[in-house]
Amino acid sequence: MKPPTGGRRPGGSSRPPGGGKKKGAKQRRRRWPKVLAGAFLSMLVLLGVFVGVVYATTEVPTAESVQNDQTTVVYYADGVTEMARLGNENRTNVTLDQVSEPAQNAVLAAENRAFYTDPGISFTGIVRAAWNNLTGGSTQGGSTITQQYVKNAFLTSDQTFSRKFKELFLAVKLDNEYSKEQILENYLNTIYFGRGAYGIEAAATTYFGVPAAQLTPEQGAVLAVLIRNPSANDPETNPEGAQQRWGLVLDAMVEQGWLDAAAREAAVYPAVLPNTGSSSGIPTGPEGLIVRQVLDELERQPFSYTRDDIYSAGLRITTTVDKAKQDAAVAAVDGVMAGEPENLREALVAVDPDTGGVLAYYGNAASSSEDPEADTTDYAQALKQPGSSFKPYTLAAALENGYSVNTRRDGSSPQEFPDRPGLPVVNSSNAQCGNCTLKEAMTRSLNTTFYGLAYDVGPEVVAETAREIAGLPATWDPNRDDPTVPEDLTGYETLSIPKTDTTGGSIGIGEYPVRPIQQAAGFATFAAGGVHHATHFVATVADSAGTVLGTGTTASTQAVSAEVASDVTFALTDVAESSKLPLAGDRPVAAKTGTQGANRTDNSDAWMVGYTPSISTAVWVGSKGTEAIVNARGNIIYGSGLPGEIWQEFMDTVLAGTPEEPLPTKALIQGDPDRSIPEPTTEAPAPTPSEEPAPVTTQAPAPSRTSSPAPAPVTTTAPEEPTATVTPTTPANPAPTTPAPTGTPVPTGTNG
């Protein structure tokens, strides 16, 4: 009998073996595409919602806000008081119909040929930029003019996804809300073309002396080339590269039908006006030199901005310069120098010993002038021989090498030294002190004492110590375009004889040139316990929204020990009083005068440098060259004269109402007694300072220091402010000595 139809198979199952598993697997496989499709659609919906929300909430800044965003502002130290607005003096907005059509077409040919048909963004450019960011390739992407306008006007130049994301939405929304003509007009008004020119109208007048409405195709192509890199493509600095790119722009105009081929063939590169160094908002007074120092500093580490970045990024720069102190500096110079001879020049620099920040800066009354004959030199950066104001560095080197401020030395005059046979060194007015401590010799500014001290310690040792204290470079950089460094010094060691890289004993009395700003920084190192803080003008840099992008340098080094700095300060505490330049209320102050001889009878440079624990100030008075300097009464100018008066007026003003700060009242370093000559058994008569001593020369014959007995104790008074001259010398050498260089004697360090 057959089993019943539909009956169960043995074992109770009615399904074939294995058939149920295959059917379930097939059903599950059919569900996966649906799940994936659903997830993808959900992501698209979420992305669409996200894009819609971001797009709806994205606000396009008004065109009127662009100029303020782009203008870089320089502030005083309070971060509120403006010193300068960079770029705003050379920007003139124009409507699109005030820009010639050929110039418009040149810009489009160079930057965005499909501008009038694209949606405001370049999808291929965005993909390329994203790929390059992921792979570490070039950060350049093909941005449209709309994207460039958004980036330049409203965003930063950072090559990041977040910035590109913002740029994308702003560009799309801008393209939808504004006409192409409005976008192009705003773009042309915000581009930086170099030479301080913002916008095409300013560029047309800067480069060609015509309004933008009169620009020819050739001129428009010159300006179009500048958009990518104004500095590198300036026809004055890179004529070959600029002209090559200019030709490519004209070729693109022909391809687009914007320029006739025959006109292209006949095109000649147009004449471009010379770069006159547009002020671009830089003040014309003394503060203009501060702004120029700020710009130079921003181009170096740690900021490394290009000049184009500074002028176009809308930065907010806070300087270290205190407005009240700067006003006091200008008032002190103007007040003291009123009625003085026109050939005189002045410099004043004040530095914060605790930070190295420049508190006040005066390098010239005018930082710029339309008169090509005008002297706009920044004398705070000029290299000038410091004379006796260099002696504290000589003392510091000695203190580090076994001497103390109580070490007694032969300060008689004249004296000969092995490195300058036949050329004796004399003290001013031939002052005599056969047995003075180094502190006494500092107060009386004895040349023979400090020349001999430098010779014995080692001129190179003194030079290296001074470099550390004042922050001088090892050499004058031959690759830096610095007009303040004479050609005969460029590439050679600082504090050395020009073109020799050798240093002689006359370094001890200030033969080799330094800058006023370096003198202020060097004395600030003594005030800071031997710590040298890098001198700087920039406190902080922020973007237009106030976000801090960087801070000024905080680099510091222990140039000399705290004990050495303290004893140098102690040695300088009597100088201001001795020079009849005490501060108000007999406030303690460490100071040193300096005078440099122009020739055998006159002075060319006069200095006063001094400090309290909170401020170090250097003042220099001289001339444009090395001509003799006299005051309005026809008298020779010494350090205690006009420079001292400026210094005293400034210091009294800025320190008024501040707590008195104590200075060291005793020496800390004992020194090696074998380096000292015996103390005299009878007390020398106290010297009576002379205010206007007669200058003397160094050519008079005199017995050698090494062959003559020690002169008697003080026999004549030693004024603080006389002058003398010596010739450049060769380094100390215990072997057979090298004669001093022959030729015309070079005026060098002197007393006071």
Neighbours of 40 (CB within 10 A): 10
Please tell me the number of Cα atoms within 13 Å of 418 on its side-chain side.
15
Q: Is 623 assigned a catalytic role?
A: no
C-alpha to C-alpha distance for 691 and 469, rounded to whole angstroms: 31
Please tell me the distance from the alpha carbon of residue 126 to that of residue 584, in angstroms, as a whole number: 67
The rounded distance, in Å, linking the Cα atoms of 25 and 496 is 92
> Is residue 231 annotated as a catalytic residue, yes or no?
no
How many Å from the N-terminal Cα to the C-terminal Cα in the chain? 141
Catalytic residue among 100, 111, 368, 645: 111
Report the residue count for the chain: 752
CA distance 746 to 500: 15
Residue 204 φ/ψ, nearest 5 degrees: -60, -40
Residues contacting 449, CB < 8 A, separation 6+: 409, 410, 411, 433, 436, 438, 441
**Phi/psi-derived region of residue 586, left when phi > 0, alpha when psi is between -120 and 50, beta in every other case:** left
Residue 76 contacts residue 316 (beta carbons within 8 Å): no
DSSP of 537-585:
SEEEEE-TT--EEEE----EEE-S-HHHHHHHHHHTTTHHHHTT-PPGG
Instruction: Name the nearest CA neighbour of 572 among 609, 619, 534, 624.
Output: 609
Q: Choosing from 388, 412, 566, 616, which is the catalytic residue? A: 388
How would you label 315-339 residue by residue, b for 16+ Cβ within 10 Å and e otherwise? bbbbbbbbbebbebbbebbeebbee
Are the C-beta atoms of residues 653 and 331 closer than 8 Å to each other? Answer: yes
Q: Is residue 153 exposed (0-12), middle (13-18) or buried (19+ Cβ within 10 Å)?
A: buried
> Which residues does the annotation mark as catalytic?
111, 388
